Chains A and B, each alone.
Chain A
Amino acid sequence: MSTSTKALNRLGWWDRVSPASKDPITGVTEAFLADTNPHKINLGVGAYRDDEGKPVVLQCVRNAEAKIAGCDFINVGRESNATAVGSKLVEESVKLAYGKDANVVKEGTLAGLQALSGTGACRLFAEFQRRFHPESPIYFPDPTWPNHPNIWRDAQVPVRTFQYYHPVSKGLNFAALMDDIKNAPDASFFLLHPCAHNPTGVDPTAEQWREISYQFKVKSHFPFFDVAYQGFASGDLDMDAQAIRIFLEDGHLIGCAQSFAKNMGLYGHRVGCLSVLCADAKQAVAVKSQLQQIARAMYSNPPIHGLLLVSTILSDPETKALWVKEVKVMANRIQQMRSTLRESLEKLASPLNWEHITKQVGMFCFSGLTADQVDRLVREFHIYLTRDGRMSMAGVTTSNVSYLANAIHEVTRYN
């Protein structure tokens, strides 16, 4: 081999590639798994756990599994059966978000597509936004799920924020939020969490949603709802969709990313739905075809197993009723843990106000702990959470809640 050939081979294809920074959320789980301490608690990733700290597969899911086992077309992708399954999933999903009797569902003005859970639905929309509104930025609440800016950035959509969380009250900064809505340029794209805001657990009231919706109309803003926790906030699926229903009543043409990761426990199956409400059926057909085009160059078709499970559950009234019950059980357990944690901290005579633990809603509690306090929780107590102080309440159990309360008290009592 000549020296010049050798030199060409040493082109160093990937010399410029440095290790990516660790994902803040999955990094927590990794550290937790590596810890051998028997008291360790994982309050990192937002995956539901039962009162024994174990992952849960819902009974309705097991029932659906049994139903679809041995299906002939279970593995086949671009066949007519798979298309039918996908359509069924979209049909049932949008009923959940938009309301089962919603006009928009009947009128065929929804462009709907199965997606790779909430992430995939957001990404499809972000790509679509850039393609058809190339200069438009997206406005995220501050704070938001850390992957939101990654998604829109990778789709090359500029990212902006609007005020949301009030660190002092540990609630909603409504006045600032409304200001930001008013001050944004007309017809801006906004991402909204319709319930169980991630990471803060702070949601607007119905009254506040109405005001937001009104202002959105005045400004002609586009509302994109990321629906990751429907059912997990109040335990009632319809109530958790109230924000969406308000916007629909007011005539907005919204977009929606729905995920079945949490409320059906189908985390690893990556099943969700993207819907875009259009002006008419013709537009819906065009929009759907463009979304399919975007998906085709990313992964061709979505994985069928999750689709089959969800459409089986949602289209059988008995199984669906069981699911609705099971969602309520999960939401109730979380609410219970919130109460218990707050009570325990108050019993310990903590100098701080812990009202927000029960005021906040859904999987997460934005504790208000500082990064240093979080580091102490990890180091001294083997309690794992993200450094923004977000605690996944799903990781709290009756057997660890006292230990947790005690640890939080220890790291905060002298502040």
Chain B
Amino acid sequence: MAFRAVMSRRGTNRSSDIGARWMSTWWGNVEPAAKDPILGVTEAFLADPSPSKVNVGVGAYRDDNGKPVVLECVREAERRIAGHSNMEYLPMGGSVKMVEETLKLAYGENSEFIKDKRIAAVQSLSGTGACRLFADFQKRFRPDSQIYIPVPTWANHHNIWRDAQVPQRTFHYYLPETRGLDFASLMDDIKNAPNGSFFLLHACAHNPTGVDPTEEQWREMSYQFKAKGHFAFFDMAYQGFASGDPERDAKSIRIFLEDGHLIGIAQSYAKNMGLYGQRVGCLSVLCEDEKQAVAVKSQLQQLARPMYSNPPLHGALIVSTILGDPELKNLWLKEVKVMADRIIGMRTALRENLEKLGSPLSWEHITNQIGMFCYSGLTPEQVDRLTSEFHIYLTRNGRISMAGITTGNVGYLANAINEVSKSA
């Protein structure tokens, strides 16, 4: 009791206490982090009262009414799960069933690598989580290595490898003049990189450009990778979403596998199953044999444990329910094709509209590019005009999210693009 008396005499006046000086300076050196540019676009769009406003900055699929979509196969899976399953921890490596089905998508239904148990694979927090686990793994077991990242790439790639403390290099990818692939420079960069370098490749539907190598070009890259002993890490965020056919979208990976590369893959269900918020994906590393795969998997789990212990349950249940049921899986494949087709349809419509308007520029790239995004080639100034004069919102690099285009707004959009670019 005496202690309490002492305490109350001292009171709790912050400024009179020794510690107060320290307390206010714990985080005195913390500056606000730079704002995410994409978020800024969305905020500005939401704040705009104009009835004709269009958001082509959004990175998530929208239907032809501009509404987010929950796939029917997902709804059905949710109905089956709700009220039935318990909520226990998944193993550190995640849902075995979900991982099994996910590997089949990337490596092939009857992949020998799956049969031979040569793939170290863990459930991850969508594509981001898969990339981060791999980056940490790379840092731990190849501490002298760097990662080569295409220019441009998804902004968060840089954050991920930087936070994993893996030094970054870039390689040429996009050619602004053609709005296509700078293949010659890309090949040069592959040849000039030190032997045994780590490369990050977008398996399909490159983000943000929509520019993919052709099958022939992938084969050349694969060959050169072999000559140089490079490591290929594929970020596959859009399988199914690019062409509408998951098998076709995995072609680059299959080429590398045929050529004997021991690759790594980050897979995500955010877009192709519309499971954005559920954070469900998979990291896999192809190993020399089963023993190595067991060791690698255990180390990936060891990296996950101090990050989040085990991955989230709900998304994994949805995925394994869908992929484990042939009917639901077929429904999913149909729905993915619908999404991909709508995007392809909008690409065609936008290009045709621009050509009908007699635009002096070439808009071929709109239909040459593939997936969610189109690198329009518009300058930042032109983008600013689109926003200020036409209430059209996109990031200043000229990246258009095709998902934001509908039959209802494509004419308006084409007109606006034409207006800001015709005298360029």
Name A's B-contacting residues (CB within 8 A). 1, 5, 8-9, 11-20, 23, 26, 45, 47, 55-57, 61-62, 65-66, 69-70, 72-80, 82, 116-117, 119-120, 123, 127, 132-133, 147, 150-151, 153-155, 186-187, 207, 210-211, 214, 216-220, 222, 249-253, 261, 265-270, 276, 278-279, 283, 285-287, 289-290, 292-294, 296-306
Contact = CB atoms under 8 A, between A and B. Distances in A.
Contacts of B229: 5, 8-9, 11
Contacts of A16: 141
B299 to A, nearest CB: 5
Contact of B156 (A14, A147, A300): A300
**Size class of the B contact interface (CB-based, 8 Å):** 35 or more
10 residue pairs, one from A and one from B, having the closest CB atoms: A8-B229, A268-B313, A304-B277, A220-B22, A299-B125, A77-B276, A116-B308, A305-B314, A303-B312, A297-B159
Contacts of B125: 116, 298-300, 303
A293 B31 CA distance: 12
A302 B295 CA distance: 28
14 contacts: A19-B298, A20-B302, A57-B86, A75-B70, A82-B277, A119-B305, A132-B30, A207-B3, A268-B88, A268-B313, A294-B163, A297-B162, A298-B132, A301-B277
Contacts of A56: 86
A385 to B, nearest CB: 17
A57 B301 CA distance: 27
Contacts of A261: 89
B12 interface: yes
B184 interface: no
B287 interface: yes
B314 A269 contact: yes
B83 A120 contact: no
Contacts of B18: 217-218, 220
B383 interface: no
B279 interface: yes
B303 interface: yes
B309 A119 contact: yes
B160 interface: yes
A270 B311 contact: yes
A14 B295 contact: yes
B30 A283 contact: yes
B269 to A, nearest CB: 10
Contacts of A266: 87
B259 to A, nearest CB: 10
Contacts of B313: 268-270, 305
A74 B277 contact: yes
Contacts of B33: 286, 289-290, 292-293
A278 B310 contact: no
A279 B23 contact: yes
B4 interface: yes
A339 to B, nearest CB: 27
A123 B132 CA distance: 14
B215 interface: no
B29 interface: yes
Interface in B94-147: 125-126, 128-129, 132, 136, 141-142
Interface stretch (B74-82, B173-181, B242-250, B348-356): B74-82
Contacts of B312: 116, 268-270, 303, 305-306
A132 B27 CA distance: 7
A297 B276 contact: no
A253 B89 contact: no
B78 A117 contact: no
B7 interface: yes
Contacts of B307: 116, 119-120, 123, 151, 154, 298
Contact of B227 (A5, A11, A80, A265): A5
Contact of B12 (A62, A76, A249, A268): A249
B231 interface: yes
Interface string B288-302: 100010111011011
Which interface residue of B78, B91, B231 has the most chain A CB atoms within 10 A? B78
Contact of B60 (A78, A123, A150, A269): A78
A286 B31 contact: yes
B301 A20 contact: yes
B227 A279 contact: no
Contact of A268 (B21, B295, B310): B310
Given A17-B299, A220-B22, A269-B312, A304 B278 contact: yes
Interface in B34-71: 36, 39, 42, 46, 59-60, 68, 70
Contacts of B299: 17, 19-20
B289 to A, nearest CB: 11
A379 B90 CA distance: 26
Nearest to A208: B3
B275 interface: yes
A132 B29 contact: yes
Nearest to B270: A77
B228 interface: yes
A296 B87 CA distance: 26
Which interface residue of A55, A66, A217 has the most chain B CB atoms within 10 A? A217
